[in-house]
Structure 1
């Protein structure tokens, strides 16, 4: 449809201030009676724009008013003015149902390593796979309630064939490490949910890692208290860095009360 435009500038005016008797009949009230002196369309839009939903409905109603005016000018059939508001509201609702507003995703909560309570110890473990070399690497770090490193290791092992097996072997090495250190208790924490669930439930019947779960459960003879927990990879960065580091080092490296300089930033990030 081609709409002829005026060749001279025209001043915007409010053409729908209310009913002929001076009372506003639209219940939602485009202009409330406490604002009786609005003379500019922009003032009306600013007022309604304070609420997004009202502004959307106002825009649809305004379009229906404009559309009806042009149909009348072109002597075409038009919507009765008494139905403009209800029709506009139905039109907007149908559009919103078909194209629902996408809710903004909540920002991901950063996962951070948490220290053990009191005088306890936490042992984090992780595995890294390097298939091209046919190897896997294990990283283990033991820390106290202040986040201080008591011991750490980085060890190469032959690649056992799956990531799950690497992770369960890392868990087994973590338990062995605590026994070697002569410590009586620890929380063992890794980032594999499969391994965590198997260890938590003592599932020795698991098809691929059940035998290793059984091995782990038979190790803690000298450990009086132990438990298993799970953390996302982001919170397991020290053990992961130790596992990655093993690729470039001797088959086994052990640190007591410190770690290598390249791993220190990951330790500090957890404090």
Structure 2
């Protein structure tokens, strides 16, 4: 059965793959991006009448609320996919506070603001929310503290939203992918290079080996991580399911992270401790 879905953060990776799968299954899709070039590329990729592309930034609450209101006014809204997110890599003990705020603003505050903006339409139309989290929300290692903190906070926020909105007929689902091939890795590596320079030679000396290891791992993940379509299939399944599941892990590494997160704290800390 065709329905209307708003996918936020649709320029690439999991968001773009979710748009592809939804359109292939006959749904009407509104896809949001920030950049005009990304909007034009998405429209060229899907030259058809079932896709509408809109632009907003999740940190611009007023602008986002206006656009989401226009989207909802066009017809019943069956689901919202909250997928916007950014990542950076740096030692949390030295991370500039403005950078920490930026990650939390996009990955947590912006996602909650999105749900708030869409909620009147979702309650009216019997819609649902699918939030894209990460295995980092369960298991946090060195150098990814800001990202892991944001995803852990997002998981908690999603749990609260689920408890609050279930009695009001709005299911809320958290999808937690493992390592996925996505341009987010390239963007994170670029941001990391800037941070290394910004933090100065002493921090670079103390954490340089960790940064180098993470950069190599990020480059590998961008190319050889699990295909984003695997996550998109799970998202679309929960959109179409008569009874969506509250929480979905995607990938063996995500299931492994969930298992490791249950280990005693000292054991887990030894496994995750920085080796350099």
Q: Please state which structure has a larger fraction of its residues in helix.
A: 2
The structure whose Rg is larger is 1
Question: Which interval holds the TM-score relative to the shorter structure?
Answer: under 0.3
TM-score normalised according to structure 1 size: 0.25
Question: Relative contact order: is structure 1 or structure 2 higher (C-alpha 8 Å, sep ≥ 6)?
Answer: 2
TM-score normalised according to structure 2 size: 0.25
